[in-house]
Amino acid sequence: MKKKTSEYEDNIRKPVRGFGKLNGINGGDIICTIICLIVIVICLTPMLHLLAKSLSGSSMLIQHKVFLLPKDFTLDSYAYVFKDPKYIKSFGFTTIITVLSCVLSLVMTTLCAYPLLFPKLKGRGVINLLITITMFFSAGTIPNYLLMKDLGLLDTPLVLMLPYCLSVFNMIILRNFFYGIPDSLREAAEIDGASFFRILVTIYVPLSKPVYATLALFYAVGRWNGYSDALMYVKTQDYYPLQLLIYYILNNINSLDIATQEGFTTPGLGIGLRAATVMFSTIPILCIYPWLQRYFIHGATMGAVKE
């Protein structure tokens, strides 16, 4: 009887032909791989198209013969970009704003998430509720503009950093990551006489490097790609972040005194110049991903669910 049962179980475990393993490869893995390849192609095609246009000659661009590979390879569009001081100045300004905003956001996120760990904090439930409500409701664009005006932040670099220095979603990720750190470590430090901030600096921050790397990536990408707040709050051209400058170029705003604007009057060169400016703003932030990738998955998964 046992032998028959064993044979029956063996038959059950055998894969059905056409739906099981094929030469040691699982059919589900093949489907997932195909889906991932399709997604990769969809994501890479627009970028490769822009890169090809930025490296192609004007005659080929006029004839619309450029798709994924450059035609009549040239670096004229990039030469225009790097010769214009406004691009370089805006690039440097955006880099500084991104770094400062990222550091400020991480500090504010930590100061908001850390106190919510302590059960003795009075009104902790109410605070959590009020913070969560802000994820679903906001005052709106006009009240925010009036607030920035009353605070005297309009047309200043601070308006690009202070209003969005704290993301509730990122704070929840960090708070949940803190929850996963054993309370025994904190209690032992408290017995040894460690202060509130010393526990944070010596225990929680060092153990939270993966999630900090993940949040830094979120904040940096958000600030680097942001232009809508600058479009509303900034009027001085010296404070234009790179994305806003590119926004005006792509929309061909004639009122701007752009040194490379004569490129738009040359047939075909304007197309390559626009593609080059987009690539000029995209490549730097893409270079950050390989350095933070090993922390990204670990930090996102550990901070998403409380263990």
CB neighbourhood size of 222 (10 A): 16
| Residues 212-266: tens digit of each pLDDT | 888 888 898 888 888 888 888 988 888 888 888 888 877 764 444 443 444 444 5
Residue 271: pLDDT over 80: no
For the chain, which residues make up each domain, given as ranges?
2-41, 76-304
Q: Which of 11-15, 58-62, 89-93, 104-108 has the lowest mean pLDDT?
A: 11-15
- CA distance readout (Å), 152 to 143, 146, 157: 14, 10, 11
Burial string for 83-106 (b: 16+ CB within 10 Å, else e) reads ebebbeebbebbeebbebbbebbb
pLDDT in tens, 48-91: 888 888 888 877 877 778 888 888 888 877 887 888 788 888 88
- To the nearest 10 degrees (0 to 180), the angle between helices 27-54 and 269-286 is 130
pLDDT of residue 86: 83
Tell how strand 21-22 and strand 25-26 pair up.
Answer: antiparallel
pLDDT at position 108, please? 93
The answer to whether the beta carbons of residues 229 and 164 sit under 8 Å apart is yes
Q: Per the confidence metrics, is the pTM higher than 0.85?
A: no
Q: Mean pLDDT score of the chain, rounded to an integer?
A: 79
Give the DSSP H/E element, type plus range, for residue 25.
Answer: strand 25-26
Q: Is the pLDDT of residue 94 over 80?
A: yes
CATH topology assigned to domain 76-304: MetI-like fold (1.10.3720)
Position 15 pLDDT exceeds 60: no
Long-range contacts of 107-115 (CB under 8 A, 24+ apart): 108/165, 108/166, 109/166, 109/167, 109/170, 109/171, 109/174, 109/215, 110/174, 110/200, 110/205, 112/166, 112/171, 113/171, 113/172, 113/174, 113/175, 113/178, 114/178, 114/200, 114/204
* 8 vs 278: which has the higher pLDDT: 278
User: What integer pLDDT is reported at residue 294 of this predicted model?
Assistant: 64
Q: What is the pLDDT of residue 293?
A: 65
Q: What is the DSSP string of 156-206?
A: SGGGGTSTTS--HHHHHHHHHHHHTS-HHHHHHHHHTT--HHHHIIIIIHH
Q: Give residue-wise pLDDT tens across range 125-184.
A: 888 888 888 888 877 888 888 989 998 888 888 998 888 888 889 998 898 888 888 888
pLDDT above 50 for 12: no
Confidence of residue 292 (pLDDT cuts 50, 70, 90): low
The more confident residue out of 232 and 26 is: 232
End-to-end CA distance of the chain: 45
> Which pLDDT does position 97 carry in this prediction?
92
Residue 283 pLDDT grade (very low, low, confident, very high; cuts 50, 70, 90): confident
Q: CB count, 10 Å around CB of 53? A: 24
- Category of 15 on φ-ψ map: left (φ > 0), alpha (ψ -120 to 50) or beta: beta
pLDDT tens-digit readout, 181-227: 888 888 888 888 888 889 888 889 888 888 888 888 889 888 888 88
Radius of gyration of the chain (CA): 26
CA distance 51 to 69: 8
Which pLDDT score, from 0 to 100, does residue 253 have? 42
Cβ atoms < 10 Å from Cβ of 27: 14
Task: Decide if pLDDT at 22 tops 90.
Answer: no
Of residues 256, 241, 297, 250, the one with CA closest to residue 277: 250
User: Does the pLDDT value for residue 279 go beyond 90?
Assistant: no
| C-beta of residue 52 within 8 angstroms of C-beta of residue 70 | yes
- In contact, 203 and 180? CB cutoff 8 Å: no
